[in-house]
């Protein structure tokens, strides 16, 4: 499977820049679901940024009198056992979701891309070591790896992020390594090397633009997976610490009151589903627009 990814990311001549953007926009926005996903993501981003203004109540403020209030005009989504407003917590939870998602993707891609470039650039033994280590990591299902890592490090948002990052590094490393390997063998790189050009710099200049399409698609889709995984970890009981509002933790807290106050767990669940859906759709759209040949591989 490792070899397969090399093939599809083979170096290709880039089409002229100007029309590319137009083509990208046309393909990207051609499907309704993608636009819908994009709108959801924009709303999510706005919610996260303006959470302080949007939230009707302080999401951390408890009120003994309002424990487990059913949805009403004052509290459209009711309140949890500590009397905290569910809607406000949901709104603040968007921050946690985005933070977990983006930081994990950031860490994983930085490590993954670096490892991939190193492996592809040096080739040979180093390539072997790095890529086999990535293969070894890929032998652990994401949730199980995250579970073990999080249990070793303990709960808390930063540890969840670390756990999820480690689990997702190999994907980035593989893609980058494949692109790097194929570029290394290109004639003009060979030529540049013969002329004594600093080939690492030359290569980076070629690797990154070529690796960009598969990487950006991978990142977008990973964002959805990470949010799902975070919810799964929280559900098992390894996750974000209070008083932080996180959707996964809200589901597992509210789940205990499912029979009486279903909205407590249904609302964050729907939020998770919407966002995961949006990331997947936007990822699809990006893939189709940037490099349709990735279909079926990412």
Partner 1 sequence: MSKQATKSERESVKEVKLTMKKLLLIALSVILISALFIGSCAEPEKPAPTPAPAPAPAPEPKTGPEGQEYGGTMKFVRGQFPKVLGYPPEFAPGDSIAMLPVLERLAEWDEKGIMIPVLAESWETDPVNKTVTWHLREGVQFHDGTDWNAEACRWNFQMGIDTARLTDGQFVESLEVIDEYTIVMHVTFVSWMSIENFGLMVSISPTAFENAGATDEERIEWARMNPVGTGPFTVAVFQRDDFLRYEKNDNYWQEGMPYLDAMEVRFIPDTMVAAATMEAGEADVWTDASAIQMMLDLEEKGLDINWGPGMFYLLAFNSSDPESIFYDQKVRAAIEYAINRPALAEMLGYGQYEPLHQMASSIWPGYVEGYDPRPYNPDKARELLAEAGYPDGFKTTMMLTEMGMDTGSAIQAYLGEVGIEVDLDVADMGRYFGSVFGIGWDDMVLTASGINPSATDLFIHFGPSPMTFRTGNIWKSDEYLKLCEEALDSKYADAYEAIDKIRAAIRQGGEDAMIVPLYRTSSGQVMQTYVHSDYQLIHGIMWFSYDDWMEEH
Partner 2 sequence: MTTYIIRRLIQALFVLILVTLIVFFVMRLLPGDPLIIYIAQSAEVQAMPPEMLDKLRAEFGLDKPVMVQYANWMAGISQGDFGTSIFYREKVGRLMMERFPVTAHLGLLSLIIGAVLGVIAGLLAAVRRGEWLDKVITPLTYIGICIPVFFAGILMIYVFGLKLGWLPISGYTSPFDDFWLSTRQLVMPVICLAIFGLAANARQMRSSMLEVTRQDYIRTAWAKGLSERMVIIKHAMKNSLIPVITLMGLGVGIIFGGSVLVELIFAIPGVGRLMVSSIFGQDYVVVQAITFVIAVIILVVNLAVDISYGWLDPRIRYG
SS3 of residue 31 by DSSP: coil
- Site membership for partner 1, residue 266 (CB under 8 A): no
One of 24, 140, 257, 277 touching partner 1 (CB under 8 A)? 257
**How many CB atoms neighbour CB 29 within 10 A?**
13
**How many CB atoms neighbour CB 240 within 10 A?**
26
One of 15, 18, 237, 260 touching partner 2 (CB under 8 A)? 237
> Taking each helix axis from N to C terminus, what angle separates 199-236 and 187-194, rounded to the nearest 10 degrees?
130
| CA-closest candidate to residue 95, choices 143, 68, 60 | 60
> Using CB distances below 5 to 8 A depending on partner kind, what does residue 235 bind out of partner 2, partner 1, none?
partner 2
Q: Please check whether residue 104 is in contact with residue 226, taking contact to mean a CB–CB distance below 8 angstroms.
A: yes
Q: Given the complex with partner 1, which of 12 and 256 has the nearer CB atom?
A: 256
C-alpha torsion sign, points 105, 224, 20, 172: positive
> Using CB distances below 5 to 8 A depending on partner kind, what does residue 135 bind out of partner 2, partner 1, none?
partner 2
One of 241, 274, 277, 293 touching partner 1 (CB under 8 A)? 241
Rounded distance between C-alpha atoms, residue 172 and residue 53, angstroms? 37
Radius of gyration, alpha carbons of the chain? 22
Q: What are the distances in angstroms from CA 40 to CA 10, 48, 88, 89, 123?
A: 34, 12, 18, 18, 42
Residues 32-61 contacting partner 2, CB under 8 A: 33
One of 83, 123, 192, 262 touching partner 1 (CB under 8 A)? 83
**x-marked contacts with partner 1 along 219-238 as a string, rule CB under 8 A:** ------------------xx
- Site membership for partner 2, residue 135 (CB under 8 A): yes
Site of interaction with partner 1 (CB under 8 A): 60-62, 64, 67-68, 81-83, 151, 154-156, 237-238, 241-243, 253, 255-260
Site of interaction with partner 2 (CB under 8 A): 1-4, 6-7, 33, 128, 132-133, 135-144, 147-149, 151-152, 154, 224, 228, 231-232, 235-237, 251, 255, 258, 265, 269, 272-274, 276-277, 280-281, 295-297
């Amino acid at each position: 499977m490792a070899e397969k990814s090399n093939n599809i990311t083979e170096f290709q001549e880039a089409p002229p820049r100007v029309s590319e953007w137009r083509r990208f926009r046309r393909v990207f926005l051609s499907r309704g679901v993608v636009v819908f996903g994009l709108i959801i993501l924009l709303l999510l981003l706005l919610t996260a940024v303006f959470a302080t203004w949007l939230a009707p109540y302080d999401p951390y403020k408890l009120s003994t009198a309002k424990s487990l209030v059913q949805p009403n005009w004052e509290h459209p989504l009711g309140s949890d056992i500590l009397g905290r407003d569910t809607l406000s917590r949901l709104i603040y939870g968007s921050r946690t979701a985005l933070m977990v998602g983006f930081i994990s993707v950031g860490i994983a891609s930085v490590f993954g891309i670096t490892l991939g470039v190193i492996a592809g650039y040096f080739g040979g033994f180093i390539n072997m070591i790095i890529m086999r280590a990535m293969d070894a990591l890929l032998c652990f299902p994401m949730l199980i790896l995250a579970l073990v890592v999080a249990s070793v490090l303990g709960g808390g948002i930063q540890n969840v992020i670390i756990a999820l990052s480690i689990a997702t590094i190999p994907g980035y490393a593989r893609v980058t390594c494949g692109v790097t390997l194929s570029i290394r063998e290109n004639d003009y790189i060979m030529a540049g090397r013969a002329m004594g050009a600093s080939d690492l710099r030359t290569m980076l200049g070629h690797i990154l633009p070529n690796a960009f399409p598969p990487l950006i698609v991978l990142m977008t889709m990973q964002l959805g997976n990470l949010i799902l995984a975070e919810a799964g970890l929280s559900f098992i009981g390894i996750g974000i610490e209070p008083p932080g509002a996180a959707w996964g933790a809200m589901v597992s807290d509210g789940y205990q009151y499912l029979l009486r106050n279903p909205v407590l767990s249904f609302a964050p669940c729907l939020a998770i589903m919407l966002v995961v859906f949006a990331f997947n759709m936007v990822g699809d759209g990006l893939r189709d627009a940037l490099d349709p040949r990735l279909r079926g591989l990412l």
